[in-house]
Chain A
Amino acid sequence: MHHVMSRFSHGNQIWKAVAAAMVLFGAVGCDRKQTAESDAPAVAEGAGGDAAVSNLSGTIKINGSSTVLPISNAVREEFIKVYPNVTVEVDGAGTGNGFKDFQKKATDISDASRPIKPGELSNCNENGVNFVEVPIAYDGLTIVVHPDNDWVDTLSVDQLKKIFVGDDAAKMWSDVDPKWPEEEINIYSPGTGSGTFDYFREVVLDDSDASMRTDMNLNEDDNILVQGVAGNKYSIGFFGVAYYEESKDKLKAVSVINPKDGKAYQPTTENIAANKYAPFSRPLFIYVSTASLPRAEVKTFVDYYLANVSELCEQVGYVRLPAEVLEKGKENLENEVTGTHFVTAEGESRSGPLVENFKPENLTKEVSQ
């Protein structure tokens, strides 16, 4: 190391080197707008010739359900093509975390894959956050079997519980129904981290202390689930409604018996929209803060959201709402009708289908604690 001594008086060399390294690590790039934007169809607004590009500006903050995130992202993507000066920040920290931000007035809009809970409502009340509750789409899941499976056409929630819940769950098809073949059930399920799995678990566990069986084939890749079920006559699986559409020819969708009317329904768009395919379909919501609505950018965005969500939600794999529910949501927004339809004044959650609950008489603005 004697060579160091020769630099005895020129130590500032190292500061230069350190500075150079920093500049390198911090390589500052110039910003380039998305190129895809430029070839987006220019949307002409109004009659004016050069009014194609709007000068609306501002920032909109959204947080909430990761299930709703793709829808909000899709709306944002189309929105900023028309209103390029508006910044829309969409985060997907989960419905609960989204409401936490919403209560703290950190967001303008909260995405939710379930209605607001009584506790969240009372927090909003305390902090003076008023909101309009707007349903935007349906999410649903499909239970599938092998197309050669000739014994299962319909399943009830109880039968599904026998198949999926607990470590003492049915091993053989004959354990579920003695008339069915004495063959081992092969189960394919989305991974435990997915929203689909959570949703399925919520329905079949139904607030009980039991847990899902552990000996299922879990996989995040829907193709592997499709291949798994399609490759074995004695298998069963489930995934999001949208993904069944892509593999309709390889699989058979099971009709689920609606506990309310005892009839079996296929997971079709019509049945989901009519709320017959229960309990495996759920509504998705956005909650819009009324304090933000006077802002031109928020109002324009929410109007745009509701005008386009039906087309866009189908593109990202969800089911559109019945037109009258969507219209009701628009109306509530226009009149700034605040409150939720899913909590009673006594602070109890209201369950049941969206179309039944989403009525003015069910509106609750505040919960009495």
Chain B
Amino acid sequence: MSTLPKALSEQDADFQQSNASRRQRMSVWFYGLCVAIALISVVVLVVLLVSIWVQGQSRLTADLLMNSHSELDIERSGMWPAIIGSLFVCGVCALVALPLGVGTAVFLEEFKPKAKPLRWLHGFVQLNIANLAGVPSIVYGLLGLTVFVYMFNIFGQIKVNESSGWELMGANHKYQVLSLETGNVVFVPQTDPDQRQITIDQPVQGMDAAGDPIEIEVWQPGTPKPTDPAVRRRTVRSGAIGATVTEKSWYYFRLPLDKSFLAGGLTLALVILPIIIIASQESLRGVSPSLREASMGLGATTWQTVRDVSLPAALPGIMTGSILAMGRAIGEAAPILVVLGAAVAKNAGPQNLMDNAVTMPVLIYNWAGRQQDEFKELAAAAIIVLLVILLLLNSAAIIIRHKVQQSQS
């Protein structure tokens, strides 16, 4: 202090005092402002949760969890098929998006090419991903519609009564014929998949719904009708038309994917892919270069370095990004509405690979738009369920991340 000029060291004590306290006050205010801003988001969240809770808590019943959507018995409508549907769709999404996303990030961060055309490609991919992250999800919905649902019509269009696309496995075609007993049918095996209708005018070998062979009788109009229900159930009117029905095993697969939960999951994978890539890239970038250099210095190849050094070190960050991305996927309604449609009447989750699915956001969207109060309360209750499921999935993922981190240290 003694080296300071006199004018400075002997500055007005009051001025010094007031200046310091003013700056200090500013600092306190700014701190207060930051807290207030941070609180706003918390308050909004609390208001949202409370209002949803107040609206929906009366509908949080076992019915909501176990039943399916009902128009006629609104009180007992439920969201079981939607919960299962969402899990299926998001499962497909995770299975596709995580490997692809992490793989792309590894390529972009760890395998930086030296040759000029490759560098150009590298930069191009990087630029594209940055742009794709900002594309609204409805656009991905339209993309998914062309690429997954219709598959550019390469495999033909799916038309009722004409074509089911390229059925690769799990399809068993048979002709279904109405029997004389109302509401009962008999089946005739189908050999030619292109012949979708037959006419039955003489007794043939057929089968029942379980696939057991039965002898199908033909009744000629004008002759006495059989009266025994058992006989009536295997008798058809002469000239009865049998039309194709397809019995589908769970692994039923055909192209194009049409409005199936697979198409929905693949579309959602497109939506979250850029998010996962960018999060993984950031995380890989955060790994200290000295680790990589040490690994390389010990003679490890790039692949070995990635597998044993960079990726394990970056894993917590990658998982955090993936959790956030999956949270987004499970809540997306727009692309699902485009790809799977707005259908909500379904009594179970997907029955085969090509089956449609109802997802929670679409069901909530539908219920919230209804005019009956019951549906609005149900929508609020469904939102609570969606949030709880989201929290459960997230906490499970966080626990796994924690375990991984622990096993590394």
Q: Which chain A residues have a beta carbon within 8 Å of chain B's beta carbons?
A: 1, 3-11, 13-14, 17-18, 20-22, 24-29, 31-37, 45-49, 51, 54-59, 61, 63, 66, 69-70, 73-74, 76-78, 80, 82-83, 85, 88-93, 104-108, 193-194, 220-223, 239-240, 243, 289, 291-292, 294-297, 299-300, 312, 315-317
Among B13-21, B32-40, B119-127, B159-167, the stretch in contact with A: B159-167
Of A25, A83, A92, the contact of B326 (CB 8 Å cutoff): A25
B84 in the interface (beta carbon within 8 A): yes
CA distance A121 to B194 in the complex (A): 28
CA distance A3 to B73 in the complex (A): 59
Q: Which chain B residues have a beta carbon within 8 Å of chain A's beta carbons?
A: 63, 66-73, 76, 78, 80-81, 83-84, 87-88, 90-95, 98-99, 102, 157-162, 176-178, 181-185, 197, 208-209, 229-230, 232-233, 241, 243, 245-247, 287-288, 291, 294-295, 307-309, 311-313, 315, 319, 322, 326, 341-349, 351, 356, 369, 371, 373, 376, 393, 396-397, 400-401, 403-404, 407-409
Of A13, A46, A239, the contact of B181 (CB 8 Å cutoff): A46
Nearest chain B residue, comparing its CB with the CB of A83: B183
Q: Are B308 and A11 in contact (CB under 8 A)?
A: yes
Q: Are A106 and B183 in contact (CB under 8 A)?
A: no
In angstroms, how far is the closest chain B Cβ from the Cβ of A103?
11
In angstroms, how far is the closest chain B Cβ from the Cβ of A244?
12
11 contacts between A and B (CB under 8 A): A8-B309, A18-B99, A24-B397, A32-B66, A45-B181, A63-B341, A89-B343, A90-B345, A289-B160, A291-B161, A295-B176
Q: Are A58 and B98 in contact (CB under 8 A)?
A: no
Q: Are A32 and B348 in contact (CB under 8 A)?
A: yes
Of A18, A56, A61, A92, the contact of B184 (CB 8 Å cutoff): A56
Q: Are A35 and B66 in contact (CB under 8 A)?
A: yes
Closest 3 CB pairs of A and B: A26-B91, A48-B229, A105-B159
Q: Are B373 and A223 in contact (CB under 8 A)?
A: yes
Nearest chain A residue, comparing its CB with the CB of B288: A1
CA distance A299 to B71 in the complex (A): 23
Of B71, B98, B342, the contact of A70 (CB 8 Å cutoff): B71
Q: Are A13 and B408 in contact (CB under 8 A)?
A: yes
Of B99, B233, B347, the contact of A37 (CB 8 Å cutoff): B347
CA distance A83 to B209 in the complex (A): 13
Given A25-B95, A296-B243: 12 more A-B contacts, CB < 8 Å: A1-B313, A14-B404, A26-B88, A45-B182, A45-B184, A55-B185, A73-B71, A88-B345, A194-B369, A223-B373, A295-B161, A300-B178
Of the candidates B247, B347, B393, B408, the one having the most CB atoms from chain A within 10 angstroms of its own CB is B347
Nearest chain A residue, comparing its CB with the CB of B315: A14
In angstroms, how far is the closest chain A Cβ from the Cβ of B302?
13
Of A3, A29, A300, the contact of B87 (CB 8 Å cutoff): A29
In angstroms, how far is the closest chain B Cβ from the Cβ of A140?
14
CA distance A88 to B84 in the complex (A): 19
CA distance A313 to B67 in the complex (A): 22
Q: Are A294 and B245 in contact (CB under 8 A)?
A: no
CA distance A69 to B95 in the complex (A): 34
In angstroms, how far is the closest chain B Cβ from the Cβ of A144?
15
CA distance A49 to B90 in the complex (A): 45
Q: Are A26 and B92 in contact (CB under 8 A)?
A: yes
CA distance A3 to B241 in the complex (A): 73
CA distance A304 to B158 in the complex (A): 26
Q: Are A51 and B393 in contact (CB under 8 A)?
A: no
Of A18, A33, A46, A57, the contact of B98 (CB 8 Å cutoff): A18
Q: Are A7 and B208 in contact (CB under 8 A)?
A: no
CA distance A21 to B232 in the complex (A): 55
In angstroms, how far is the closest chain B Cβ from the Cβ of A76?
6
Q: Are A25 and B94 in contact (CB under 8 A)?
A: yes
Q: Are A90 and B243 in contact (CB under 8 A)?
A: no
In angstroms, how far is the closest chain A Cβ from the Cβ of B214?
12
CA distance A108 to B230 in the complex (A): 32
